[in-house]
Amino acid sequence: MTAASVTVVGASLAGLATAEGLRRQGFDGVIRVVGEEPWLPYDRPPLSKDVLKTGPAEHPPYLRSEQAFADLQVEWVLGRRCIALNAGDRTLSLDDGSVLPFHLLVVATGARPRRLAPLDGVGGVHVLRSWDDDVALAGDVAHASTVVVVGGGFIGCEVASSLRHRGIDVTIVEPFPTLLFGPLGAEIGERLNRMHSDRGVQLVLGATVSGYRGGNRVEAVVLEDGRELAADVVVLGLGAVPNTEWLQDSGIACDNGVLCDATGRTEVDGVYAVGDVARPESSLYGRRVRVEHWTSASMQGAAVAMTLLDPQARGELVRVPYFWSDQYDTRLNYVGLHERTDRVLVRGSDGDAWQAAWERDGVITAAVASGDPRLLPAMRKALGQPVETHWPIERSRATRVS
Ligand SMILES: Cc1cc2nc3c(=O)[nH]c(=O)nc-3n(C[C@H](O)[C@H](O)[C@H](O)COP(=O)(O)OP(=O)(O)OC[C@H]3O[C@@H](n4cnc5c(N)ncnc54)[C@H](O)[C@@H]3O)c2cc1C
């Protein structure tokens, strides 16, 4: 199938990267991008970091300049949600009743925050994924003195750090014994516990929120053991769910994301998936991998653009994952992909500067460092290398090992 026009659903990072990849390779056909939000693609990482520290500006932090967006010559269909993909007649149904035909299609609908049923629709309770979420949250915390963050994952930790910057009292409620227990495990989580307690965050660990006190507006969250934590504002940081429901009757298989081959191709001819919503096969890891990181979304858009124009190109979506997280004045960098059963090695316990690596069968599978971004090139090089020779990871190795 050669490309006459390409339609992208989802006007964010992965969708933009797809459009840019197509133009970069000389595609001069029609590119149409449909997006539920009213905004041109903007950057999400600042929403839990600088934007929350300072309060939002008039518009989101756009990913490109006005000129760069114009140069792309994309037909933007914004403020419209796709509600169905009809594989038979190759059309999309939108929430305003309109129907769009498509030729080649890329699904880049990302993910949305997981919610907590007992707190649904209660005033003062927020999630954080979009610019509109951020504006609502920033408006509310402007008058808040006490905020409860439910969930000690990356978003929860970043929100806590930004709110502490504003002098707000913050409590994090987390069911596991440490912050970031799920993604990074207990040994590293303990360091995060220290980092946040040292900055005055109250940690309520091993606890879950079961309800709230207040009428239309939250006054306190109620824990499963009956304890109450006063809260002017509550922020839920409970992870994200891929936006696949609209594909339900499309013939495209979804299971914790859109199932696709290594190049993003789904079961419907000419329909691909990229970014946070995609769960592609990976020859690198020998299984399906759904990644929710900025760099992956960007690289996957570029990779699928290659395949759309030349199916023989077979651009693989999954590369070695990388993400960063900024908390207080410290940047945490992670590279690779570890399994929970991998053995973790940690070095450095003073303050916020430390590094860790995971090891399986004597080989380094992933590495994370806090407080030393210059370690990143050496961390990348250590992946797949024997622990014996590459642990601890040293900056000088970046030049020594080639
Ligand atoms: C607050 C925050 C902080 C983050 N910080 C970091 C960080 O520090 N480091 C890092 O590596 N990553 C970070 N991330 C993750 C990173 O931003 C995501 O991996 C990236 O945005 C994924 O891009 P995407 O285009 O795949 O999906 P998304 O950015 O989720 O975009 C999907 C778009 O599709 C739209 N959409 C959904 N359904 C439909 C539909 N049916 N019809 C039309 N449009 C639809 C959505 O409204 C959205 O605009 C952060 C994310 C958030 C929310």
The best mutation among 7, 33, 36 to test binding of ligand 1, ranked by most ligand atoms within 8 Å of the C-beta, falls on 36
Query: Could you tell me if the CB of 157 is within 6 A of ligand 1?
Result: no
Q: How far is the CA of 65 from the centre of ligand 1 (A)?
A: 19
Quote the crossing angle between the two packed helices 294-309 and 13-24, to the nearest 10°.
40
Q: Say whether pLDDT at 399 is over 80.
A: no
The best mutation among 245, 294, 324 to test binding of ligand 1, ranked by most ligand atoms within 8 Å of the C-beta, falls on 294
Superfamily covering domain 5-112+241-313:
FAD/NAD(P)-binding domain (3.50.50.60)
Of all protein residues, the one whose alpha carbon is nearest to atom 36 of ligand 1 is: 109
What is the C-alpha radius of gyration for the chain, rounded to an integer number of angstroms?
A: 22
Query: Could you tell me if the CB of 391 is within 6 A of ligand 1?
Result: no
Q: What is the DSSP string of 221-247?
A: EEETTS-EEE-SEEEE---EEE--GGG
Closest C-alpha to 128, from 212, 242, 240: 240
> Which percentage of the chain shows pLDDT scores above 70?
97
Q: Is 282 helix (H, G, I), strand (E, B) or coil?
A: strand
pLDDT at 314: 79
Superfamily covering domain 115-238:
FAD/NAD(P)-binding domain (3.50.50.60)
Query: Could you tell me if the CB of 212 is within 6 A of ligand 1?
Result: no
Query: Could you tell me if the CB of 134 is within 6 A of ligand 1?
Result: no
- Atom in ligand 1 nearest the alpha carbon of residue 94: 42
State the Cα angle at 188 between 187 and 194, rounded to 5°. Answer: 100
**CATH class of residue range 329-400:** alpha beta
Query: Could you tell me if the CB of 108 is within 6 A of ligand 1?
Result: yes
Query: Could you tell me if the CB of 365 is within 6 A of ligand 1?
Result: no
Torsion of CA 392, 393, 399, 400, to 10 degrees: 30
Query: Could you tell me if the CB of 107 is within 6 A of ligand 1?
Result: no
Residue 375 neighbours by CB under 8 Å, 6+ apart:
333, 355, 369, 393, 395
3-state secondary structure 352-368: CCEEEEEEECCEEEEEE
pLDDT digits (tens, 9 = 90+) for 193-226: 999 999 999 999 999 999 999 999 999 999 999 9
Nearest-angstrom CA–CA distance, 98 and 344: 53
> Which percentage of the chain shows pLDDT scores above 90?
93
Query: Could you tell me if the CB of 382 is within 6 A of ligand 1?
Result: no
Query: Could you tell me if the CB of 10 is within 6 A of ligand 1?
Result: yes
Query: Could you tell me if the CB of 36 is within 6 A of ligand 1?
Result: yes
| 218-222 contacts at long range (C-beta below 8 A, 24 or more positions apart) | 218/119, 218/122, 218/123, 218/124, 218/125, 221/119, 221/148, 221/150, 221/173
The best mutation among 52, 62, 107, 109 to test binding of ligand 1, ranked by most ligand atoms within 8 Å of the C-beta, falls on 109
Please tell me which residue, 352 or 398, carries the higher pLDDT value. 352
Fold agreement (5-112+241-313, 115-238): yes
Q: Confidence class of residue 3 from pLDDT cuts 50, 70 and 90?
A: low
CB 229 within 8 A of CB 122: no
Mean of pLDDT over the chain: 95
- Atom in ligand 1 nearest the alpha carbon of residue 277: 26
Query: Could you tell me if the CB of 13 is within 6 A of ligand 1?
Result: yes
On the 0-12 / 13-18 / 19+ scale of CB atoms within 10 A, 64 is middle
What's the one-letter identity of residue 204? V
Query: Could you tell me if the CB of 324 is within 6 A of ligand 1?
Result: yes
Q: How many CB atoms lie within 10 A of CB 219?
A: 13
CB 237 within 8 A of CB 156: yes
pLDDT digits (tens, 9 = 90+) for 71-116: 999 999 999 999 999 999 999 999 999 999 999 999 999 999 999 9
Q: How far is the CA of 277 from the centre of ligand 1 (A)?
A: 9
Residue 380 Cα distances to 241, 281, 283, 385, angstroms:
29, 22, 19, 10
Q: How far is the CA of 85 from the centre of ligand 1 (A)?
A: 21
Query: Could you tell me if the CB of 275 is within 6 A of ligand 1?
Result: yes
Q: What is the mean pLDDT of residues 133-155?
A: 97
What residue ranges do the domains of the chain occupy? 5-112+241-313, 115-238, 329-400
Residue owning tokens 């002017």: 232
pLDDT digits (tens, 9 = 90+) for 291-333: 999 999 999 999 999 999 997 887 899 999 999 999 999 999 9
pLDDT at 396: 66
Q: How far is the CA of 261 from the centre of ligand 1 (A)?
A: 21
pLDDT digits (tens, 9 = 90+) for 27-39: 999 999 999 999 9
Q: How far is the CA of 113 from the centre of ligand 1 (A)?
A: 10
Sign of the CA dihedral running 274, 278, 281, 284: positive
